């Protein structure tokens, strides 16, 4: 007998709202809290920016039914126009500006303490992995939340491809550096390029996911094309975008926001409703685009999969 045991955060896929659910422009703006007057002159970017992609035939990928949701999928019309991407500006409406990002050719460097250092063209990397779709919750440190159908492959696959040495303890990741294209990178007060890091135990956890697509299509630029990270149990700033380098290192890397303001944005950044941000509570989160307030869950509801990673780290500030 094949007994399927659903995890604590799973919901039958039939109860998830499909991408095709329509939200009109006024409802989206109201739900996102964007004042109509402030947008009247600028207009909204188109929700999708079509561009020929050599890997388009790989989408949509099969859905992995082990990763479903306890809430509705956030419509693409919302997530495609509400993005944090500081390389292109400190506001949320950066989708149009992000179209300047050149994602071909795109090289991915794997180096550091590993037996198989290499430089791969992104399209070459895509031939080495198998894609799947996962439905993940996304929780921003700013206390808003989405639910997104990502397509990609486990970060553990890239770790295996690199074959890290025994002394490697962390995976350091780095995004592109091109201030001529990305105006936000001309802001000298930020430590460009954007850097993030995780332990190897986190990197090889089943939930750690390298994203190449969304909503059944190749990843649009404003989401962090062509390759970004999804760590659903952590605050969103840990999910680095537009990655160009993976380095296996022995010492813990200092991440971008940790260097900017370590007292507010730490290395671990695990979601915890009981640990407030210094300037606001994390006890509740606002679902986009409806504005509904719901209780925040420890590890964003993924504790069953990740809590064991932190049992011997009592002295660490795991939730900031």
- H runs (alpha helix) in 64-133: 76-79, 95-98, 122-126
Decide if 289 contacts 28 (C-beta within 8 A). yes
3-state secondary structure of 214: strand
pLDDT tens sequence across 259-285:
999 999 999 999 999 999 999 999 999
Q: Is residue 90 within a helix (H) or strand (E), and if so which, with residue range?
A: none
Name the residue among 176, 206, 211 with its Cα closest to residue 86: 176
Q: Is 238 helix (H, G, I), strand (E, B) or coil?
A: helix
Q: Rounded CA gap, 177 and 182, in Å?
A: 8
Position 50 scores a pLDDT of: 55
Q: What was the pLDDT predicted at 51?
A: 65
Measured between alpha carbons, how far is 139 from 287 in angstroms, rounded to an integer? 9
Instruction: Note the pLDDT of residue 278.
Output: 94
What is residue 210's predicted lDDT score, i.e. its pLDDT?
98
Q: Which stretches in the chain have pLDDT values below 50?
A: 1-31, 34-47
Phi, psi of 79 (to 5 degrees): -65, -25
């Amino acid at each position: 007998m094949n007994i399927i045991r659903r995890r604590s955060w799973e919901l039958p896929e039939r109860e998830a709202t499909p991408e095709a659910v329509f939200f009109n422009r006024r409802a989206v703006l109201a739900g996102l809290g964007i004042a109509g007057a402030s947008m009247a002159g600028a207009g909204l970017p188109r929700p999708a920016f079509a561009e020929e992609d050599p890997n388009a035939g790989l989408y949509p990928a099969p859905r992995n039914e082990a990763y479903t949701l306890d809430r509705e999928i956030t419509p693409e019309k919302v997530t495609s126009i509400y993005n944090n991407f500081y390389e292109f500006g400190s506001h949320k409406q950066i989708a149009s500006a992000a179209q300047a990002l050149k994602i071909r050719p795109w090289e991915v460097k794997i180096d550091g303490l590993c037996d198989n250092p290499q430089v791969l063209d992104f399209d070459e990397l895509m031939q080495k992995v198998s894609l799947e779709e996962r439905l993940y919750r996304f929780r921003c440190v700013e206390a808003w939340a989405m639910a997104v159908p990502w397509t990609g492959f486990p970060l553990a696959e890239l770790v295996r491809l690199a074959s890290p040495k025994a002394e490697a303890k962390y995976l350091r990741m780095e995004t592109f550096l091109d201030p001529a294209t990305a105006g936000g990178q001309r802001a000298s007060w930020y430590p460009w390029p954007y850097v993030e890091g995780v332990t190897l135990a986190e990197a090889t956890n089943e939930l750690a996911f390298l994203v190449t697509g969304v909503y059944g299509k190749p990843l649009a630029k404003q989401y962090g094309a062509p390759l970004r990270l999804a760590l659903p149990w952590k605050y969103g700033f840990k999910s680095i975008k537009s990655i160009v380098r993976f380095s296996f290192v022995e010492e813990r890397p200092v991440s971008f926001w940790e260097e900017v303001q370590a007292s507010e944005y730490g290395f671990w950044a695990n979601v915890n409703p009981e640990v407030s941000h210094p300037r606001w509570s994390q006890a509740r989160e606002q679902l986009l685009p409806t504005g509904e307030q719901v209780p925040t869950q420890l590890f964003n509801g993924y504790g069953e999969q990740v809590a064991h990673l932190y049992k011997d780290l009592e002295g660490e500030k795991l939730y900031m």
